[in-house]
Structure 1
């Protein structure tokens, strides 16, 4: 069925923030407030290669929610081709009344914004406020304070939002505000997400950033991929075919990614593999990595696992054609240890 296209430019928000700041959780809240007669499109970019975030959104075309994932941090590749292809396909199919974009937590949001501001998109997108989520507790850690991507995510914000406020124990917000002042961001609107959203006003306001694409792309550190099959960004369809073929032949695929001082390792398992729910909960609770996400088919149903700050959460998922798990960390030795633990227990 052909959908009627919106008659004006699509209101578009970028929702950025470092790993584990709650971007997906905020988008889920926003989706719960979506007017029933509106079609919303969500473009999600993950640092990992296997693509898990889409499974955490309860949205289907019949609910007027359309989700497209760009795995592997590729939304910020030099050519921007993976993002443009995914974005164009999503807009063409969904014809949305609103677009939300979630870049990877270790990616460059300036490049995403610059891509949206290209002349051929001028009449397509109405670029509204860029929201940057931040966990104020992270300011105490040098690896965040001095991280250039972390600083870029804050500098591009039209609104900075402190999340996970229920976990603050002291003067974290004061330290965050002092840090923002040091970065020249004292006048950037700041708020705290300390209660469920009541409406969509958080998305209001226009973007103040106007970027030149060449400037946004300059001096960008190179990232690299390593996995069992050739990864050619200009032949993403072939990559998907290769992965599906390997999945059918071997029952599982392992994919790695490394960039910006972080590394990831992810697995995709054939939907016929049934995981032990209790074993998964016990093991994933004790694995030590910066970030862990999984969508697993178990004997008790399909569940999503999300671990950040050493806290594992688990939710029931509606559906998933296969099982996927991804770990991310800045320390290669912790990745190696986690891989050994998974391979010797959960994956056997």
Structure 2
């Protein structure tokens, strides 16, 4: 698929990192620093099937912020077709001055980069620094440090950003540096993010990006792009715009979609906007759920709120608007996900609007 040409290539950054490293938080910081006259586009790919991250960005055309979601952890499947379609729609509509791409935390960022480097995109995108976020506390856990995707995300980085530093209690930074040395990544700049970003210098802080990315990786990635395993869309995903999925939501007021890959399992729910949740019960139930990752956008009697849980810490943010309530729980244990969703279904509804 060939996109319509523009007068100049769009500066493009990939922002990657494993589940719960704070990619959405970083993008929100970047958006707060966006020049008012610039149009920015954000392409968000989620492992879960229902698409929640977009609700956390206050992206509106009047603010020159445009967002497109590709749920399902499969943005690059079928030779990158979902990604190409999403890019075409987003670029045609937004005509952005900058593009930010957030791949799923359990996806292959090399596939994203390989798609952007296809010949028909060479005049469309000016690929700048790839930013990889990492929570240094995860280095101590074998399920992270030995994970091939975790390693790939770090290896592709032009800048590695250590996040959640306020939660470090010991020598996590030392362990991270030792791990990066073992991975032969000592030449990759490491930024320890102790406070919110103050400017956009990070976009251009990796001057080695052009040389290293093109000389060391571009040839290899272009050569191996066709060798990546092709992933299939699960049936009934919201991004399939399936009439059956929409019909189920209209008829029953709720719909559930599952996904599984890379040892993780997700269960996502969409609830009709006519269902109003009890805010206090939402807080109580979500606080008690044990899962690797939890995200939700809930319409409650007190307003619309976004919930984010990682490392057993639940945060709540008031949001402006949404058309329905959505919940996504990701864990390595499917039984824990099922139990958690059952609690929500049985206790949370305050009333019917």
* CA offset digits 1:255-284 (Å, max 9, x no partner): 000111111000001111000000000000
Assess if the C-alpha contact under 8 Å between 1:39 and 1:64 holds in 2.
yes
Preserved CA contact (<8 Å) 1:14 1:129: yes
Shift of 1:79: 2.2
Equivalent residue number for residue 346 of structure 2: 344
1:127 to 2:127 alignment? yes
Equivalent residues of 1:43, 1:70 under 8 A apart? yes
Question: Is 1:246 equivalent to 2:248 in the alignment?
Answer: yes
2:321 alignment counterpart: 319
Offset, 1:170: 0.9
1:266 alignment counterpart: 268
* Contact in 2 for aligned 1:6/1:97 (Cα 8 Å): no
Aligned equivalent of 1:294: 296
Q: 1-side partners of 2:225 and 2:134: how far apart? A: 22
Find the counterpart in structure 2 of residue 105 from structure 1. 105
How far the C-alpha of 1:186 sits from its partner, in A, is: 1.1
> How far did residue 219 of structure 1 move?
5.2
The alpha-carbon distance between structure 1 residues 216 and 140, as it changes in their structure 2 partners (threshold 3 A), is farther
Change (3 A) 1:238 1:301: closer
1:255 to 238, 251, 257: 257
Aligned CA distance change for structure 1 residues 219 and 94 (closer, same or farther; 3 Å): closer
1:28-80 Cα offsets, whole Å, 9 max, x none, are 00000000000000000000000000000011001000000000012131321
Write the mapping of 1:67-78 to structure 2, written as runs, cut at 5 A.
67-78=67-78
The question of whether the paired residues in 1 share the 8 Å contact of 2:74 and 2:233 is answered with no
Q: CA RMSD in A?
A: 1.8
Equivalent of 1:279 in 269, 274, 281? 281
Whether the 8 Å contact between 1:223 and 1:260 is mirrored in structure 2 is no
**For the Cα contact (< 8 Å) 2:275–2:349, is it kept in 1?**
no
1:212 is paired with a residue of what secondary structure?
helix
Counterpart of 2:48 in structure 1 is 48
Q: State TM-score, norm by structure 1.
A: 0.92
Residues 1:212 and 2:221 are matched in the alignment: yes
Distance in structure 1 (CA, Å) of the matches to 2:227 and 2:111: 10
> How far apart are 1:217 and its partner, in Å?
5.2
In 2: Cα distance, 1:82 partner to 1:225 partner = 10
1:18–1:106 Cα contact (<8 Å) kept: yes
Q: Which runs of 5 or more structure 2 residues have no equivalent in the other structure? A: none
Equivalents in 2 of 1:270, 1:74: separation in Å?
Answer: 25
- Counterpart check, 1:26 vs 2:35: no
- Distance of aligned partners of 1:282 and 1:223 in 2 relative to their CA distance in 1, 3 Å threshold: farther
Residue pair 1:50, 1:324 contacting (<8 A) in 2 also: yes
Give how far 1:334 is off. Answer: 1.9
The DSSP-based 3-state class of the residue aligned with 1:334 is: helix
